[in-house]
Amino acid sequence: MVREPLIFEMSSKGKSAFRLPSLDVPEKKQVLTGLPLRTEIEEFPEVSEVEVVRHFTRLSKTNYCVDEGFYPLGSCTMKYNPKINERIAALAGFLHTHPLTPEELVQGNLEALQRMEDFLGEITGMDAFTLLPSAGAQGELVGMMMIRACLTERGDPRKTVLIPDSAHGTNPSSAHLCGYKVHEIRSNDSGVIDMQDLFQNMTEDVAALMVTNPNTLGIFETDIMKISEIVHDKGGFIYMDGANMNALVGQVKPGNMNVDVIHLNLHKTFSTPHGGGGPGAGPVGVRKTLAPFLPIPRIVKSKNTYHMEHDHPKSIGRVGSYNGHFLVILKALTYILSLGPKGLKEVSEISVLNSNYIRKSLEDVFHLKYKTPTLHECVFSDKNQRSHGIQNLDIAKRLIDFGVHPPTMSFPLNVQGALMIEPTETESKRDMDIFIDAMKKIAEEAQTNPDILKSAPHHTYVRRLDETAAARNPVLKWTPGVLDEKE
Amino acid sequence: MYPDEFYYTKNHEWIKVEGDIGTVGITDFAQKQLGDVVYVDIPDKGTLDFHQSMGVIESVKAVSDIYSPLSGEILEVNAGLNESPELVNEDPHGNGWILKLKIKDRSELEKLMSAGDYEKFLDGLEE
Amino acid sequence: MSYISLSEDDIQDLLNKIGVSSISELFCCIPEEIRVKSDLSLPSALTEPELISHFEKISERNGANEYLSFLGGGAYQHLIPTVVDYLSMRGEFISPYTPYQPEVSQGTLQVIFEFQTLICQLTGMDIANASLYDGATGAAEAVLMAHRIKNKPKVLISRSAHPHYRQVISTYTQNLDLTIEMVDHLDSGRIDIENLKKRLDDQTTAVVIQSPNFIGVLEDIPSITRFAHEAGAMSVLLITEPVSLGLMEAPGKFGVDIVTGEAQSFGISLSFGGPYVGFMACRKEFLRQFPGRIAGQTKDRDGKRGFVLTLTTREQFIRRERATSNICTNQAWCALRATIFLEALGKKGLREMAWQNVQKIRYALDQLTEIEGVTAKFSGEVFNECVLHFDKPWEVIDKALREKKILGGIPLQTYFEDMENCVLINVTEVHTKEDIDLFVENVREIMSR
């Protein structure tokens, strides 16, 4: 496919793609006196509607997407995005409401939000929810801030947060943003939290343990009740990263695991689309003890009317411009209503079934560091292929040639050369078999023809890109006069 | 492969001692682990304690703290790394040096490894 | 509804391959005591037509849909070219993952690169990121960034910056060694520069202003920036209405250090407040402290131009606790819509849109301030919003307007105690002359009662 130019390279003077209606009020020529005005928006593009449509249509075709095929990305839960969700979120009655509309006139929106809070409460077993965080990472920050606020009220915010060495990078950075130091807890030979290490490090100076369950290896922390006891005994909190909720829906409620606060990712478990990198949403559920600290505004129902409340003196405050990612929440709400209790249970059953199928199919070919049973995802490594000079990166890039998006790489940190695979429940056997066969072929190529891996991918719009040059000499925008070289 | 006259740390730094000046860098093993170096973030003055973090080295995919092999006072940083951070990859024991410091306490050298010890240490790291 | 793609036979095949007789065996690692014993207590599954009917009923409980609205305050009604919906709803834009594998994500990455370029062109800044959650978190990230760079304990912010943005800044900085002090505005609606100058000292990390500000008035960006720099502080500009950049000079030309704000005006429907899209831009010397994803240009092994996420070591998944921010996402799909919007409007279209906003608010104000009992609260120049003071209680006027299905504006007393019966009114290019005349007529009639 011919390389698509930047819009600025297609631009020339006088072209336009959109016309506004003529000004219908009397025009005043002298306005904004005394203020610096620009004569024009320099270098801004001028193209026709046809050019806009073709530009974005062609660009879209260079993207792989869930609508096209399999994304075995561990930890991302790249399940199918139902189209009915999009239709509901586009209903005019929802789409055009202004965030500062008086609440009497947006009772429908508030009702939808409250129902979502109730449903998430039922699914997770937590006492109260906030739907305000814009993403999982922001949910983590909100959760940690609430813990800190609660401990501060008790007299001592404490200094440290414990995080397993397998945790997602947002965990320590969220803790750090809250003013906490991070201490890593080791995983044992089974890939779960080393109880001795936890016990020794759990002191009255530790505010919380941030735990993912099942963890990032797909392994359930079977000792979670003992773990929470150790932490609670010293007055700490259990924060649960709910990114892996796909394995638990309808099977276990985090509330029954003595979790104090949990965030969910609507763009993972609850099917809202990733959009190439957002928007998502990261609702946070808490136990009663932490409810007073939830961010504002809170949605409450009194008699038959819904209200947005701002007067909560213990609240950690406002965390976003307005009312959260309303349309994303609507999509997830639609999803919950379209699946119902049986459908939701099926999600965890089939995601665990699919993942174990892939695990069983590949465990003779790729190295599996931990032999412990896994739920909805599993982590292989490139160890068997390293002797041929092949790394996980090469395996990943070669997979692209087989029409499959690579799995998550190099995370969690406690598996060197990791390949984290999570099929989710929406994959067909056929698509999973295509992936399995491709992986087996690649393992074979690693021995017989490693160069073909090293030079992969071969059939994509661009070949392997020089990320080093991009970082050493950053070019972060188009500038005029810098001619692109001929192909 | 590892110069005999250098001393080495468990965090893969090396130090070359000439009088009371020490030149510090990271080892070939470390630069391989890191991948292509894109940026070196070290202050150009200050005092450092034994094994105190003196800054970070960034590659495309990773960030690593660098720890001072000995206590001392920073004299100079390798200005060439601003323009050419790849020197750390290309010549980690030579032109890819990172900083020079004035050594405070020579006896600390006893806590570091010789080239032979470091090579043995590397062998032990193989999974 | 089920999105499972396995038949009964498939399931049996998988179970056989794994070597178990039922799916429940695969959950044996979860202790029995904590297992859920019955189905979740949720409504039974609804089919598509049932879902549509269910949600249509809910949305009809929003009375607001039929109203003519003059609400602004950081979220604005603007025209959206049809191509924005048409193109952004393609599955190849909605359903891909984050572009961590650039060879199969060039669409996403090139769009980000174009977005970054457009933001730089509008703001006159050197570098822009791929977007942040929204304007308020952008403001918080800007303050955190300034604090990382200057490491001083004080930030001066104008009282006329968006109250929600100020609140979010407080939330984000509550655990840091940082005090946020407000500087009031004058009768012009602009920040009290003399007072600002007095309070600027070598303990100030940054001065944060918004223009046009929450009360509609445009600030003197060059002077404020100059004073901030003279005191060794950074100059941070918030913009909630970036359509204003269609006419106003690029803040980069005045040496502003960080420009951040909300790009909802660029093709994002009001959506009851989200998802929106924050933008952020800064001067090139601050690159390493800059939060958020960034796309960069490079070449592939055949020498062909391509784009990648770059400088990722600033971000959480590598730097972990040393990251510049914990942000893990951008608002890629919203930024895509903004990009399509800006490219469709183009150089002339955005300027024309800005011009019409300026003209229409003035048309409305000229007539409204002729009515007895209605005065402009502030004297400064406005872009597309203005605060009016009413001699009658706003509740009375508002109630009467609502009977005519008009939402006249945002009452400001909840935000500013000293602004009783002051209302923020926003007029954009979507308001026709008839809309404005209808509004004015009704206000005139109500005020004469």
Query: DSSP readout, A184-244?
Result: EEPB-TTSSB-HHHHHHH--TTEEEEEEESS-TTS---TTHHHHHHHHHHTT-EEEEEGGG
Is B61 close to A383, i.e. CB distance below 8 A? no
Cβ contact C260:C141 at 8 Å: yes
CATH 3.30.70.1070 fits domain C82-341: no
Q: Boundaries of CATH 3.40.640.10 in chain C?
A: 82-341
Nearest to A55 by CA among A102, A114, A115, A15: A15
Is A471 close to B38, i.e. CB distance below 8 A? yes
Closest CB from A168, A275, A461 relative to C333: A275
Q: Which residues 95-124 of B are in CB contact (within 8 Å) with C?
A: none
pLDDT band at C404 (very low <50, low <70, confident <90, very high): very high
CB pairs < 8 Å spanning B and C: 18
Query: Both ends of chain B: CA-CA distance in Å?
Result: 21
A450: closest CA of chain C, how far (Å): 17
- Spatial separation of the C-alpha atoms in residues A186 and A317, rounded to whole Å: 34
> A387, A472, A473: which to substitute to probe chain B, counting the most B Cβ within 10 Å?
A472
Q: Boundaries of CATH 3.90.1150.10 in chain A?
A: 348-470
Distances from the Cα of C162 to the Cαs of A403, A444, B113, C158, in angstroms? Answer: 48, 60, 59, 9
- Spatial separation of the C-alpha atoms in residues C284 and C197, rounded to whole Å: 27
- Residue A389 in this model has a pLDDT that exceeds 70: yes
pLDDT at C324: 52
Cβ contact C269:A89 at 8 Å: no
pLDDT at C338: 98
Cβ contact A173:C320 at 8 Å: yes
Mean pLDDT for chain C overall: 95
Mean of the pLDDT values across residues A343-350?
98
Pair of tokens at residue A143: 């959760």
Q: Is the dihedral of CA A8, A9, A15, A17 positive or negative?
A: negative
Residue B43, phi-psi category: left (phi > 0), alpha (psi -120 to 50), beta (remainder): beta
Closest CB from A383, A416, A472 relative to B38: A472
Q: Is the dihedral of CA B118, B120, B125, B126 positive or negative?
A: positive
Is C167 close to A49, i.e. CB distance below 8 A? no
> Which residues are bridge partners to C182 per DSSP?
C157
pLDDT at C294: 95
Q: Boundaries of CATH 3.90.1150.10 in chain C?
A: 65-78+346-447
Nearest to A280 by CA among C275, B9, B116: C275
* Burial zone of C334 (CB within 10 Å; 0-12 exposed, 13-18 middle, 19+ buried): buried
Residue keyed to tokens 């899209």: C277
pLDDT tens sequence across A5-31: 999 999 999 999 999 999 999 999 999
Q: For A348-470, CATH number?
A: 3.90.1150.10
Distances from the Cα of C265 to the Cαs of A378, B86, C249, in angstroms? Answer: 43, 44, 18
Is A99 close to C272, i.e. CB distance below 8 A? yes
Pair of tokens at residue A156: 């001592």
pLDDT tens sequence across C262-303: 999 999 999 999 999 999 999 999 998 898 899 999 999 999
Cβ–Cβ contact C312 with B under 8 A: yes
Residue C156 identity (one-letter amino acid):
L
- Spatial separation of the C-alpha atoms in residues C225 and C207, rounded to whole Å: 8
- Residue C312 in this model has a pLDDT that exceeds 90: no
pLDDT tens sequence across A28-56: 999 999 999 999 999 999 999 999 999 99
Q: Boundaries of CATH 3.40.640.10 in chain A?
A: 84-338
Cβ–Cβ contact C306 with A under 8 A: yes
pLDDT at A484: 57
pLDDT at A206: 97
pLDDT band at A248 (very low <50, low <70, confident <90, very high): very high
pLDDT at A166: 84
Is B127 close to A472, i.e. CB distance below 8 A? no
Q: Closest-CA residue in chain C for B38?
A: C311
pLDDT at A249: 97
pLDDT at B55: 87
pLDDT at C401: 98
Poorest-pLDDT segment among A119-133, A340-354, B43-57, C187-201: B43-57
pLDDT at C329: 64
pLDDT band at C327 (very low <50, low <70, confident <90, very high): low
Q: Is the dihedral of CA A366, A368, A371, A374 positive or negative?
A: negative
- Spatial separation of the C-alpha atoms in residues B46 and B42, rounded to whole Å: 10
Closest CB from A383, A416, A471 relative to B60: A471
Chain B residues whose beta carbon lies within 8 Å of the beta carbon of residue A473: none
Poorest-pLDDT segment among A171-175, A281-285, C196-200, C235-239: A171-175
pLDDT tens sequence across A53-97: 999 999 999 999 999 999 999 989 999 999 999 999 999 999 999
Torsion of CA A227, A230, A235, A239, to 10 degrees: -10
- Residue A487 in this model has a pLDDT that exceeds 50: no
- Spatial separation of the C-alpha atoms in residues A213 and A220, rounded to whole Å: 6
The CATH superfamily holding the domain C65-78+346-447 is Aspartate Aminotransferase, domain 1 (3.90.1150.10)
Mean of the pLDDT values across residues C391-412?
97
- Residue B127 in this model has a pLDDT that exceeds 70: no
Mean of the pLDDT values across residues A232-255?
97
pLDDT at A1: 72
pLDDT tens sequence across B62-121: 788 889 999 999 999 999 998 899 999 999 999 999 999 999 988 998 999 999 999 999
Is A468 close to B60, i.e. CB distance below 8 A? yes
- Residue C322 in this model has a pLDDT that exceeds 60: no
Write the DSSP symbol of residue C139: H
Write the DSSP symbol of residue C244: G
Chain B residues whose beta carbon lies within 8 Å of the beta carbon of residue A467: 60
Q: Is the dihedral of CA C271, C273, C275, C277 positive or negative?
A: positive
CB pairs < 8 Å spanning A and C: 658
CATH 1.10.3720.10 fits domain A84-338: no
Chain A residues whose beta carbon lies within 8 Å of the beta carbon of residue B86: 472
Q: Which residues 1-40 of B are in CB contact (within 8 Å) with A?
A: 35-36, 38-39
- Residue C25 in this model has a pLDDT that exceeds 90: yes
- Residue A439 in this model has a pLDDT that exceeds 50: yes
Q: Which residues 410-469 of A are in CB contact (within 8 Å) with C?
A: 411, 425-429, 431, 455, 457, 460-467, 469
Mean of the pLDDT values across residues C379-394?
97
Mean pLDDT for chain B overall: 90
Query: Both ends of chain C: CA-CA distance in Å?
Result: 57
Residue keyed to tokens 């959506």: C271
Give the contacts of C122 (CB within 8 A, at least 6 positions apart): A41, A44, C242, C245, C250
Chain C residues whose beta carbon lies within 8 Å of the beta carbon of residue B41: 288
pLDDT at C325: 58
- Spatial separation of the C-alpha atoms in residues B107 and B105, rounded to whole Å: 5
Cβ–Cβ contact C189 with A under 8 A: no
- Spatial separation of the C-alpha atoms in residues C346 and A48, rounded to whole Å: 9
Other CB atoms closer than 10 Å to residue A54's CB: what's the count? 14
Q: Closest-CA residue in chain B for A473?
A: B38
A403: closest CA of chain B, how far (Å): 25
Cβ contact A244:A220 at 8 Å: no
Chain C residues whose beta carbon lies within 8 Å of the beta carbon of residue B58: 313
Other CB atoms closer than 10 Å to residue C403's CB: what's the count? 10
List subunits contacting chain C, requiring 3 or more Cβ pairs under 8 Å: A, B
CB pairs < 8 Å spanning A and B: 17
Mean pLDDT for chain A overall: 94
Cβ–Cβ contact B86 with A under 8 A: yes
Q: Closest-CA residue in chain B for A470?
A: B60
Is B61 close to C312, i.e. CB distance below 8 A? yes
pLDDT at B51: 86
B107: closest CA of chain C, how far (Å): 33
- Residue C326 in this model has a pLDDT that exceeds 80: no
Closest CB from B35, B61, B85 relative to A472: B85
- Residue A266 in this model has a pLDDT that exceeds 80: yes
Q: Closest-CA residue in chain C for B58?
A: C313
Give all domains of chain B, ordered by start, each with its CATH number: 6-125 (2.40.50.100)
Poorest-pLDDT segment among A101-110, A306-315, B102-111, C87-96: B102-111
B38: closest CA of chain A, how far (Å): 5
